[in-house]
Amino acid sequence: MNSRRDFLQKAGISTLAISLPFSEALSAIHLEREDKVLRVAIMGLGSYGTRVAEAMKDCKRAKLVGVISGTPSKIEAWQQKYGIPAKNCYNYENYHLIKDNPDIDAVYVITPNSLHKPHSIGVAKAGKHVICEKPMALNAEEGREMIAACKAAGVHLLVGYRMHFEAKTLEVVKMQRAGEFGKTLFFQGLSGFMIGDPTQWRLNRDLAGGGSMMDIGVYSINGARYMLGEEPIWVTAQEVKTDPVKFKQGVDETITFQMGFPSGAVASCLSTYSMNNLDKFFLNGTKGFAEMQPSTGYGPIQAKTNKGPIEADHVTHQTTQMDEMAAIILDGKKPIIPVDGEEGLKDLVIVDAIYEAVRTGARISLI
């Protein structure tokens, strides 16, 4: 009986639970964990921050409780719309004060790419968990600094890979891992759209760190890795630029790139800001195939294999993402496809290699 009592006390269960039969007490542990909610502040109140906030209205394990913005009018509007108390509102000069706010557990960094590193490290130093939008940083060196800072602070670093929790994507990954497609030999990833406003930050090298590759191209890099289930060992890449006025030096318009994998599988991918109708993944193996189109858009995702269509209810991706990330942080849940800083770093290493391949025309080794 003492061992049971010790176990329950270490698990943080109340005296009432200790008086329950052991099986009921275990259920109480589960319910107590499920009742925990990750209290999140969003940093960066632009269009995607708004999308996340709207999605979180339907979350069961995550709640929007705070904001960080450099625009006072946005803070005021969000306070009114989402019922955020003034004490949970910060700007980019004073957000370090969240260290003294026990009502905030984590901050979702949704600022321009060049600010991901300083903002994420600032959040970590304030003792709060970090959720950072992809790409995690401008390059692998910055990514390593972020990982080190979060480890030193004892906080989680998660990356906003919403597709890692999407039902049809996970079904394809499970089928591949189970060998249902046989030996997978080829992956094609097409990621692109026609970008609009030429003055936006995504076309500013200092803020974005590049062009289409630092935005939409990451999906094909990441998708190749989780669809094939292995890490590439080399890359080659070529750049095409048709509008040097809109896509200035250092801002890539279109890049085609290829990756080779230890098994002999290859990936052929395209990243662009100048073509629509490009949101497709195709996986081919010795026993079958999987095709997803759209593959990474906000949904609903469409997927089929040689066995027929994959059916699953569409749930807003960011709703599922935030609930699953809450389970990772609060419960120690292990996702099927990782979303931690190390996962983000793997993509950044490949992005660096792709840009080097474009610059040199050489095949770049990743080992």
Question: So what's the pLDDT on residue 1?
Answer: 39
pLDDT value of position 299: 87
Question: At 145, which amino acid appears?
Answer: E
Catalytic residue set: 134, 219
Under the banding of pLDDT at 50, 70 and 90, the label for residue 12 is: very low
Give the model's confidence band at 35: pLDDT under 50 very low, under 70 low, under 90 confident, else very high: confident
- The string of DSSP codes covering 129-192 is EEEEPSS-SSSHHHHHHHHHHHHHHT--EEE--GGGG-HHHHHHHHHHHTTTT-SEEEEEEEEE
Give the count of beta carbons closer than 10 Å to the beta carbon of residue 310.
Answer: 20
Instruction: Classify strands 62-68 and 38-43 as parallel, antiparallel or unpaired.
Output: parallel
The answer to whether residue 8 scores a pLDDT higher than 70 is no
Query: Tell me, what's the pLDDT at 20?
Result: 54
Residue 36 has pLDDT above 70, yes or no: yes
Q: Evaluate if residue 27 carries a pLDDT over 60.
A: no
Q: Which of 213, 56, 75 is nearest to 134 (CA)?
A: 213
Tokens of 335: 């996702």
At 311, give phi and psi (nearest 5°). -105, 135
- Would the pLDDT of 30 be above 90? no
Whole-prediction pTM value?
Answer: 0.91
- Tracing tokens 């569409």 back to the chain, one arrives at 314
Cβ(64)–Cβ(42) under 8 Å? yes
Q: What is the pLDDT of residue 16?
A: 42
At 247, is the pLDDT very low, low, confident or very high (cuts 50, 70, 90)?
Answer: very high
Per the DSSP assignment, residues forming a β-bridge with 260 are 234, 266
Residues in the chain, total: 367
CATH architecture for the domain at 38-160: 3-Layer(aba) Sandwich (3.40)
CB atoms within 10 A of CB 356: 13
Pick the closest to residue 340 from 362, 320, 324, 316 (CA basis).
324
**β-bridge partners, 130:** 107, 157
- Per-residue pLDDT at 229 exceeds 60: yes
| pLDDT tens digits, one per residue of 269-326 | 999 999 999 999 999 999 999 999 999 999 899 999 999 999 999 999 999 999 999 9
The whole-number pLDDT of residue 263 equals 98
- Reduced to 3 states (helix: H, G, I; strand: E, B; else coil), residue 274 is coil
Q: Which segments within the chain are labelled E, that is strand? A: 38-43, 62-68, 89-90, 106-109, 129-132, 157-159, 184-192, 234-240, 254-260, 266-272, 278-285, 289-292, 303-305, 308-309, 364-365
Strands 308-309 and 266-272, bridge-based pairing: unpaired
- Taking the mean position of all CA atoms in its chain, how far away is CA 85? 28
Q: How far is CA 220 from the centre of its chain?
A: 13
Domain ranges for the chain: 2-35, 38-160, 163-314+341-365
pLDDT in tens, 107-162: 999 999 999 999 999 999 999 999 999 999 999 999 999 999 999 999 999 999 99
Whether residue 5 contacts residue 296, with contact meaning beta carbons closer than 8 Å, is answered with no
Which residue type is seen at 351? V
- Same fold across 38-160 and 163-314+341-365: no
CATH top-level class of 163-314+341-365: alpha beta
* Amino acid letter, residue 41: A
- The amino acid present at 273, given as its one-letter code, is Y
Compute the C-alpha angle 137/140/144, nearest 5°: 85
Question: With 90 as the cut, is the pLDDT of residue 239 above it?
Answer: yes
Q: How confident is residue 33, by pLDDT bands cut at 50, 70 and 90? A: low
C-alpha to C-alpha distance for 108 and 115, rounded to whole angstroms: 13
Confidence of residue 345 (pLDDT cuts 50, 70, 90): very high
